[in-house]
Structure 1
Amino acid sequence: MSRLAYSALHRARLGTAALTAVAAVMAVGLSGPPSTAAEPAALPRAGGAPSSISTLNRTLTTPWGISFLRGRKAALVTERDTAVVWKIALDGAKKKVGTVPNAVWSEQTQDKGGLLGVAVSPTWNGTSDKDVFFMETTRTDNRVVRMRFDGSRLSGYSPVLTGIVRDTQHNGGKIAFGPDGYLYVATGDAQKGELAQDKKSLNGKILRITKSGAAAPGNPFGTRVYSYGHRNPQGLAWDRAGRLWSTEIGAEAWDELNLVKPGRNYGWPACEGACSRAGMTNPKMVWKPDEGGVPAQVAVVNNVIYASTLSGHRLWRIPIDATGQDVGPATAYYNGTYGRLRALAKVPGADQLWLGTSDRGTAKDLLLKVTIK
């Protein structure tokens, strides 16, 4: 399958409740990034906007996940195609620390298999707690695995959650520890839409699990499932009030930004975008995939959401409104400058983002630093 054909597959949802946000996205998406980002007075102004961007490293191969090491001024970065894990310092210097066994990627998977997300234990210190978690596509399934990292190299390999249906598309892949200390896992529907509505399935879900892979206490159905009705969610991030936001790659018309709440049904495949069907939760914003969409990952800086995009080739700035339940007009940055953008994470203790390009070729992808002011 060509990349053009692949891009055509990544479409998502339309709905009347999101028309205002769509209009805002369309307006900026077609014109590219403005020099300044004006906001209505009702929106929080503390978030600032991207003020500069620089290249930290230019020798990566399709970076997929970024997770910072507690207290070490460095992050672990995964490469989708090679299964290599790099330790990258704040100045961009990188060191190979190992590979994750069993991760499988090939051209036929068209961007969806291989080594995907990474999440460092929130209490990691390299001694008493060495836990690092990865999500990978193997020859038989998608799975979450635990490895040990002492600050210099990876060791061990223990699957903690297996049996997530894999496919050549829609594998999800983002994992992240929430403010509650539990691990959240974004899974795709594996091109089997019915799985997203099946609450007994692990697919088409956002899962919430313990470090051992068990259902986290307080989950809405008493299982690992936190929310369902997702097609291909790939971004997870929390705002300063602890609310979970997720980006989702859709089917034909629209891609989504969702405010994720426990037990909610986000509609796929019954609804595309916002709909009036009882029991469905509508997205907070949608994108046209050919006009700035196909969102990959999200990060939050001072209650402003930032979303990287693949086909969109840009970084979106999306302010959360004063209620915390909706978003204001979106603004696009770096439109077409760096190509496909995917890996995204906030730098702890700084108003900065790390942003990775994708699919530029072997050892040609960039790791960028975006400063927010």
Structure 2
Amino acid sequence: MRTVTVTLAAALLAGCTGGSSGVTSTAGAGTPSPTSTSNPGTPRPRVGDAKVLTTKLRVPWGVAFLADGSALVGERAGRVSHVSATGKRTTVGTVRGVSEDGEGGLLGLAARQKGSATTLFAYYTSTSDDNRVVSMTYRGGRLGTQKVLLKGIASADHHNGGALAIGPDGDLWIGTGDAGNTARSQQRTNLNGKVLRITTSGKVPADNPFRGSPVYSYGHRNVQGIAFDSAGRTWATEFGQNTYDELNLIEKGANYGWPVVEGREGKKGYVDPKVQWPTSQASPSGLAIVDDVAYLGALRGERLWQVPLDGTAVGTPKSFFRNEFGRIRTVVAAPGGRLWLTTSNRDGRGSPVAADDRILRVPLSS
């Protein structure tokens, strides 16, 4: 993907004023929606207070917060580190069997704490030629034995998905990609090109839409971000191909159209995205929702997107940090009204500087 470059002054101006030309968040491209809202009081990232927490990582992707405000952070090659709230980094182990070919590797992470016990969940591309989800204990600063919860998600050198989150229902939500075979996305019996939902023990929830199947929604191209709003609704980012990237509100059993539809086309039987971006402005990966405001990391677009949510409607997208830190991969809600962002400038498509890759801490205005 081509990297867009602008002067620093222009980048900062665009970051503070929105820079959202070409973005549509309405029911019809270019047509105002009566249900959308601009949310004038929406908290903004405090651009000037962004702080680099740690540096010289190699494509950090998954970030899972712990109760004390620290986090477990995965790098694509398989290493997992503990990163304190102040940025101190300590290696705690490696996820075994990771294959880092192409866009694959150790992708999403999620953590569950019950009392003194912590379970880490990981989504990764395996040396067994699939993508899979595993669980492992985290105790005494070390990772324990891996247990496979779900396997058989086809892998390729691109479109491996990678989203992993624990929902308000306590279940694991997983975003997969089509692994380069677009037909998979429309096949409901295939795990690729889907949003999947399983329990934290690897079982299929009884109320999933297709009996006995992890599939929750289908017709996706490549889902790398999943998050939940205050009402428990599920939102997901999706990479487009040549025209539009998407932010989708995920509905149970719904078809999101790929490869028949890219972006908003209003075709019967397919769910349109709530927001679409030209692919030059986004390639949206990580997703966090704080106080019903969505924050998306843009890889090719090299910026952070903010989208106010109002029930099932959306407000006007605004962008921040345009071309300031390069490719922004992961966006995670951190304790204390902050975001943590990770960069992916060493993923083979960026222009890394000596400090890359980095984890950034970004406060939000009240």
* Normalised TM-score (structure 1): 0.85
**Which residue of 2 is the match for residue 370 of structure 1?**
362
Q: 1:356 offset after TM fit, Å?
A: 0.6
Matched, 1:135 2:126: no
Q: How does 1:1-373 map to 2 (within 5 A)?
A: 4=2, 32-34=14-16, 42-44=37-39, 47-51=42-46, 52-69=49-66, 71-80=67-76, 82-106=77-101, 109=102, 112-121=103-112, 123-125=113-115, 127=116, 129-139=117-127, 140-222=129-211, 223-290=213-280, 292-321=281-310, 324-348=311-335, 350-360=336-346, 364-373=356-365
Q: 1:46 offset after TM fit, Å?
A: 5.3
**Cα distance, 1:30–1:131 mapped onto 2, change above 3 Å:** closer
- What whole-Å deviation, never above 9, does each CA across 1:86-129 have from its counterpart, x for those lacking one? 111100111100000011113xx1xx2011111102x344x4x3
- Unaligned runs of 5+ residues in structure 1 are 9-27
Q: 1:261 offset after TM fit, Å?
A: 1.3
**Cα distance, 1:41–1:163 mapped onto 2, change above 3 Å:** closer
Q: Is the 8 A contact 1:266 1:281 kept in 2?
A: yes
Q: 1:212 offset after TM fit, Å?
A: 2.1
Q: Distance in 1 between matches of 2:259 and 2:291?
A: 33
Q: Distance in 1 between matches of 2:41 and 2:208?
A: 33
Q: 1:168 offset after TM fit, Å?
A: 0.8
Partner letter of residue 15 of structure 2? P
**Which residue of 2 is the match for residue 21 of structure 1?**
none
- Root-mean-square deviation (CA, aligned residues, Å) is 2.4
Q: 1:211 offset after TM fit, Å?
A: 1.6
- What whole-Å deviation, never above 9, does each CA across 1:274-326 have from its counterpart, x for those lacking one? 22322100000111111x211111111111111110010000111113xx112
Q: Is the 8 A contact 1:142 1:164 kept in 2?
A: yes
Q: Is the 8 A contact 2:124 2:131 kept in 1?
A: yes
Identity %: 40
- Unaligned runs of 5+ residues in structure 2 are 5-9, 20-34, 347-351
Q: Distance in 2 between matches of 1:355 and 1:92?
A: 13
**Cα distance, 1:74–1:151 mapped onto 2, change above 3 Å:** farther
Secondary structure in 1 aligned to 2:360? strand
Q: Distance in 1 between matches of 2:208 and 2:157?
A: 30
- What whole-Å deviation, never above 9, does each CA across 1:35-63 have from its counterpart, x for those lacking one? 589xx995545541011311111121110
Secondary structure in 2 aligned to 1:194? helix
Q: Is the 8 A contact 2:130 2:154 kept in 1?
A: yes
Q: Is the 8 A contact 1:315 1:341 kept in 2?
A: yes
- What whole-Å deviation, never above 9, does each CA across 1:225-278 have from its counterpart, x for those lacking one? 111100001110111111111110111111001011111110101111122322
**Cα distance, 1:338–1:363 mapped onto 2, change above 3 Å:** closer
Partner letter of residue 141 of structure 1? D
* Normalised TM-score (structure 2): 0.86
Secondary structure in 1 aligned to 2:313? coil
Secondary structure in 1 aligned to 2:208? coil
Q: Distance in 2 between matches of 1:265 and 1:259?
A: 12
Secondary structure in 2 aligned to 1:164? strand
Q: 1:351 offset after TM fit, Å?
A: 1.2
Q: Distance in 2 between matches of 1:41 and 1:119?
A: 32
**Would you say how many aligned residue pairs link Structure 1 and Structure 2?**
336
Secondary structure in 1 aligned to 2:286? strand
